[in-house]
């Protein structure tokens, strides 16, 4: 098994983007990239800890590749928005890849450079690519939030359309709606 950690806005929808990818064994939402040990959601929301809301993806490299997870990451959010995604604003909502190995770093940077060179996005990519120092799990009520609250207005407006777009773009990646 291997782990990958991504920040792409509010972690509720991002977690669901990865949960159903074949080969993903488990996901957990939490905080990475900051200076405070064991931060709470309230700490992170002050915008003073430096943490991003992230999803830790536990996956089987024999069943899915890191490149496939990057496909989901790059297509599941807007990597050109600095410190925001949709209605959510603050450094905790930044686009970030926290690599766990030199190989993940190389692959992530190469993928980002290809997207930039191809002018895939109309603006420059602002995604942070940084070494994973620590992953702190978020509070229990944040875990599997979208699966437990699919009718929440936030989810309906902000996350379900992104999930539908990913399913349409990568139909063979998603095992169930």
Residue 129 belongs to a domain:
yes
Bridge partners for 89 per DSSP: 84
Report the chain's mean pLDDT, rounded to a whole number.
96
Element housing 109 (H / E): helix 102-117
Q: What is the mean pLDDT of residues 51-80?
A: 97
- Tell me how far apart the alpha carbons of residues 112 and 79 are, in angstroms, rounded to a whole number: 10
First to last CA, the chain: 25
Radius of gyration of the chain (CA): 15
Residue 122 belongs to a domain:
yes
Residue 84's CATH number: 3.30.1060.10
Provide the number of structural domains found in the chain.
1
Residue 113 belongs to a domain:
yes
Q: Is the pLDDT of residue 82 over 90?
A: yes
Q: Please give the DSSP secondary-structure letter assigned to residue 78.
A: -
Condensed to tens digits (0 to 9), the pLDDT of residues 24-49 reads: 999 999 999 999 999 999 999 999 99
pLDDT of residue 173: 86
- Give the pLDDT band (50/70/90) at residue 137: very high
**Is-catalytic flag, 45?**
no
Q: What is the mean pLDDT of residues 53-63?
A: 98
Q: Is the pLDDT of residue 176 over 70?
A: no
- Tell me how far apart the alpha carbons of residues 43 and 18 are, in angstroms, rounded to a whole number: 26
- Tell me how far apart the alpha carbons of residues 55 and 49 are, in angstroms, rounded to a whole number: 18
Q: Is the pLDDT of residue 5 over 90?
A: yes
Task: Say if CB 121 and CB 115 are below 8 A apart.
Answer: yes
pLDDT of residue 177: 52
Q: Is the pLDDT of residue 175 over 70?
A: no
The share of the chain scoring above pLDDT 90, in percent, equals 96
Domain span at residue 162 reads: 2-169
Residue 58 belongs to a domain:
yes
Pick the catalytic residue from 2, 10, 21, 132.
Answer: 10
Condensed to tens digits (0 to 9), the pLDDT of residues 99-116 reads: 999 999 999 999 999 999
Phi/psi at 52 (5° precision) = -110, 150
DSSP symbols for 37-69: SS--HHHHHTT-S--EEEEEEEE-TTTS-HHHH
pLDDT of residue 52: 98
Residue 177 belongs to a domain:
no
Residue 75 belongs to a domain:
yes
Residue 124 belongs to a domain:
yes
């Amino acid at each position: 098994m291997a782990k990958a950690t991504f920040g792409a806005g509010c972690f509720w929808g991002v977690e669901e983007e990865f949960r159903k990818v074949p080969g993903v064994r488990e996901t957990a939402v939490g905080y990475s990239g900051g200076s405070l040990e064991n931060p709470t959601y309230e700490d992170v929301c002050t915008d003073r800890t430096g943490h991003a809301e992230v999803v830790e993806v536990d996956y089987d490299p024999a069943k899915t590749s890191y490149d496939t997870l990057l496909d989901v990451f790059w297509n599941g959010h807007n990597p050109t928005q600095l410190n925001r995604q949709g209605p959510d604003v603050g450094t905790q909502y930044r686009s970030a890849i926290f690599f766990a190995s030199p190989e993940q770093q190389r692959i992530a940077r190469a993928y980002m450079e290809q997207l930039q060179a191809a002018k895939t996005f109309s603006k420059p990519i602002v995604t942070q690519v940084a070494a994973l120092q620590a992953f702190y799990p978020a509070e229990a009520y944040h875990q599997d939030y979208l699966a437990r609250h699919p009718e929440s207005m936030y989810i309906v407006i902000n996350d379900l359309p992104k999930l539908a777009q990913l399913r349409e773009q990568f139909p063979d990646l998603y095992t169930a709606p």
